[in-house]
Amino acid sequence: MRGYANGYRRRQLPWMRDVVVGSVLAEGSGAWRVVRDVHRYNDGDLRSVNFAIRRCSWTHRCYTVIGYSDLIQRGFRMVPVKPRRLTTALDRKIHRAIHEPCSKRPYAATCCDVEGVA
């Protein structure tokens, strides 16, 4: 049995098992986004994914975190393509920004660096 000990089960779509860094997800609106980081619960269920941010925000972070329930609510689906290799200099900067402490400034990359990047 997956989910919580009290019998509650998380609603997970079948494609959520296959999400890895570099996977491409399509929003309900049609926009394609590349997964930059994946977080899972202990039982393997998807917790959240990180994407490069689409527009600058007040936080100036270059990434956004979207939980599994928001992925479902917003109509995300997996695009059947081979996961992208994130090897460019910008990909490495985004990775560093995701994994550095929130209090660290300046960030490895800011939202201005990644505007328009999938």
Higher pLDDT, 61 or 69: 69
The pair of three-digit structure tokens given for residue 28, joined into one six-digit string: 């309900």
Tell me the whole-structure pTM to 2 decimals.
0.85
Domain housing 92: 14-114
Q: What pLDDT sits at residue 105?
A: 65
- The answer as to whether 3 is a domain residue is no
Dihedral sign of CA atoms 75, 80, 81, 82 in order: positive
CB-CB contact of 17 with 68 (8 Å): no
Residue 4 domain-assigned (yes or no): no
1, pLDDT greater than 90: no
SS (H, E, C) 3-35: CCCCCCCCCCCHHHHHCCCCCEEECCCCCEEEE
pLDDT at 7: 59
Whether 48 shows a pLDDT value over 90: the answer reads yes
Interval 34-56 mean pLDDT: 93
Is residue 46 assigned to a domain? yes
Q: Which comes out higher in pLDDT, residue 59 or 16?
A: 16
Q: CA quadruple 48, 15, 41, 83: dihedral positive or negative?
A: negative
**pLDDT above 70 covers what percent of the chain?**
88
Residue 5 domain-assigned (yes or no): no
Report if residue 108 sits inside a domain: yes
Tens of pLDDT along 84-103? Answer: 999 999 999 999 988 888 77
Structural domain count of the chain: 1
Q: Report the sign of the C-alpha dihedral through residues 77, 53, 44, 83, in that order.
A: positive
